[in-house]
Copies of this chain bind each other. A is one copy, B any other.
Amino acid sequence: MAQTEFSIKSAADWLRQNDNFLIITHEHPDGDALGSIFGMLSMLRKNGKTADAFLPEPLPEKYLDFAPCDFRSELSRIELNSYNYCISLDNPKTTRAGMGANLAFNDIVLPVLNIDHHPDNSQFGKWNLVMPKAAATAEIIYSIFKEIPEWQISPTTASLLMLGIVTDTGGFRFDNTSPDVLRKAAELLELNADYHKIVLNMFFSNPLIQQEFEAELMMHHLRLKCNGRFAWFFIPNELLKKYSIDMRNTEGLIEALRVIKGTEIVAIMQPREEGFKISLRSKNPKYSVGAIARQLNGGGHELAAGGLIKTTSRESAEKILLAHVEKVLNEI
């Protein structure tokens, strides 16, 4: 299949000229994935286009308020291919597309427009607009919409794009907080994005039980190595049960490690059937956790990534992770 690199401008023209879109994103969607697909959906429908968003898994609780009521949570193979085009947003690889248990990305026979900001995006679309310098996929989408001045950006669309930007900049705390993204946030505010609601839902709506869970983790399950430069929580399944915690709702948990003075790389480790799931964050652009994750059956950004250590014992998983982290921390 011939592949074309798209500019912001050509993506805008493409949206103008075409119709009848299916919008998808990556599995286990976060705020940028959801803000992007629902923002795109809202924009297209508001401006006379036919579109659906496909999301075959339950939404994390804090995003429930942002989802439209009529996205598609189930599609047959025939329905899937009844659209003219597929738009894949914030999804780096065909294997990571959120297609549910009954479908796979390869079931899509539609031509695909791939818009993403992950540096490891595999350019799987017929058309590809991949901008690793963008803080969020929602930021790229907003740039596209600005190139279609005859279309209206509703407060709903503005809120959804802002949700994506706020999520992927950690509320303007990560190093991807650029002058550009701050100015786009200012413009989205002027378009009546509901910033109060976004901040409230993203940062000030942790269930009490989750805060107590975090407090117990901090008191009894925190591990530190490399003179405090590497910190991690090992999360026993019993603790999840004790507090009835659904890990899908604890995206911010790893922040509790980032706030500790002196930490440079932080991680959360959780037992899974296939081994130990790892989430990684780096506080320092010098140390890439993306590189670690790519060696541990995973991927992501340089400062935020995840992987899976395929081993049966906690000790060996921690040893493997520690070896990788030490190597990165000692490189410079």
Bound complex: CA A185 to CA B283 (Å):
21
Tell me if B196 and A190 are in contact (CB < 8 A).
no
Tell me if A175 and B189 are in contact (CB < 8 A).
no
Most interface-central of A173, A185, A285 (chain B CB within 10 A): A173
Known A-B contacts A204-B283, A212-B218; the reply to A186 vs B196 at CB < 8 A is no
| Residues of chain B lying within 8 A (CB to CB) of residue A285 | 196
Tell me if A260 and B186 are in contact (CB < 8 A).
no
Tell me if B204 and A258 are in contact (CB < 8 A).
yes
Tell which of B172, B259, B262, B263 touches A172, judged by Cβ atoms closer than 8 Å. Answer: B172
From A92-100, A115-123, A176-184, A291-299, the one touching the partner chain is: A176-184
The verdict on A7 contacting chain B, using a C-beta distance below 8 Å, is no
Q: How many copies does the complex hold?
A: 2
| Residues of chain B lying within 8 A (CB to CB) of residue A283 | 200, 204
The verdict on A206 contacting chain B, using a C-beta distance below 8 Å, is yes
Most interface-central of A179, A183, A195 (chain B CB within 10 A): A179
Known A-B contacts A215-B218, A259-B206, A261-B205; the reply to A172 vs B175 at CB < 8 A is no
Bound complex: CA A186 to CA B183 (Å):
6
Q: Give the interface residue-count category, chain A.
A: 35 or more
| Residues of chain B lying within 8 A (CB to CB) of residue A258 | 204
Tell me if B196 and A187 are in contact (CB < 8 A).
no
| Residues of chain B lying within 8 A (CB to CB) of residue A175 | 196
Residues 198-215 of chain A: 1 if any B CB is under 8 Å from the residue's CB, otherwise 0?
011001111110011011
| Residues of chain B lying within 8 A (CB to CB) of residue A186 | 179-180, 182-183, 186
Most interface-central of A171, A172, A228 (chain B CB within 10 A): A172
Interface residues of A in 199-237 (CB under 8 A from B): 199-200, 203-208, 211-212, 214-216, 218-219, 224, 228
The verdict on A256 contacting chain B, using a C-beta distance below 8 Å, is yes
A181 to B: closest C-beta gap in Å: 8
Tell which of B178, B203, B219, B262 touches A259, judged by Cβ atoms closer than 8 Å. Answer: B203
Interface residues, chain A, with chain B CB atoms under 8 Å away: 171-173, 175, 177-180, 182-183, 185-187, 189-190, 195-196, 199-200, 203-208, 211-212, 214-216, 218-219, 224, 228, 256, 258-263, 283, 285
